[in-house]
Amino acid sequence: MPIIRVTSLSEPGLEVYGSLTERQLKSFYDDLGGLFIAESPKVIKVALDAGYEPVSVLCEEKHIEGDAKDIIRRSGDIPVYIGERDLLASLTGYTLTRGVLCAMRRKPTVSIADVCRDAHRVAVINGVVDNTNIGAIFRSAAALGIDAVVVTSNSCDPLNRRSVRVSMGTVFLVPWTWSDDYQQELNALGFKTVAMALTDKSVAIDDERLKAENKLAIIMGTEGDGLPQYAIDAADYVARIPMSYNVDSLNVAAASAVAFWELRNR
């Protein structure tokens, strides 16, 4: 376990924590699946438990025998960069949550068939572009019985640092994958799909037909405009959450929690 004291922001190996964008991290070491950054000891431990491979650790020196001790012990012979709080904040652009970051390798992308084969309830995230909402949806999915998540390419990356942190590491627990052809692929696996949208054809989310489906995929749309029309038209059902006080809709993260609970596999 080489410990490297950071005195300069140009130290080789630190680029993954500072100068690389999220997009660049995703393609970094592309032949090995790219990287992501996990923040805070609790989240990093969830990732390690889920089999993600650490590449390096960045933390304040005091955490070597504190919050980062178990992480370092479990991570093997990887570089551990240490430095003062202010210097690390100037490198990363933010104050570290509990002072520990870990660069980790992404896992290879898997197919919908692999992710959803044994699932009964699936969430589809279509065009959600806020990292906080992505993380919150994954946390609700894990807590409320969603077996897998499918994410369209025009959505935020679930392994974005903020998404990971907001999810409290549940993004490492719920199987997920990317797909823009989810409707066809899910139908082929025996799923019916329900688009969450306000239309003349929308049924209430507590409709018994939805609850009776053995395999159901719940499609959530973008924060502002909701689902695109093509996604609504292709879905087997369209459903709405009944509202009061003339409120037209909930934030997508809040709506997902309501939908996941109401449509959970019974």
* pLDDT tens, position by position, 200-244: 889 999 999 999 999 999 999 986 778 999 999 999 999 999 989
pLDDT digits (tens, 9 = 90+) for 59-71: 888 888 888 888 9
Common-topology check for domains 3-105 and 112-262: no
Question: What mean pLDDT value characterizes the chain?
Answer: 89
- Tell me yes or no: is domain 3-105 CATH 1.20.1740.10: no
**Is 170's pLDDT higher than 70?**
yes
The residue ranges of every structural domain in the chain are: 3-105, 112-262
Average pLDDT over residues 123-136: 96
112-262: CATH superfamily: SPOUT methyltransferase, trefoil knot domain (3.40.1280.10)
Question: Is residue 108 over pLDDT 70?
Answer: yes
Query: Cβ-count burial of 244 within 10 angstroms (0-12 exposed, 13-18 middle, 19+ buried)?
Result: exposed
At residue 220, what are phi and psi to the nearest 5 degrees?
A: -110, 140
Q: What is the pLDDT of residue 17?
A: 83
By the 10 Å C-beta count (0-12 exposed, 13-18 middle, 19+ buried), 234 is classed as middle
93 pLDDT band, cuts 50/70/90, is low
The pLDDT value recorded for residue 33 is 66
pTM over 0.85: yes
Q: Write the single-letter amino acid at 263.
A: L
256 pLDDT higher than 80 = yes
pLDDT tens digits for range 176-200: 999 999 999 999 999 999 999 988 8
CA quadruple 127, 15, 39, 45: dihedral sign: positive
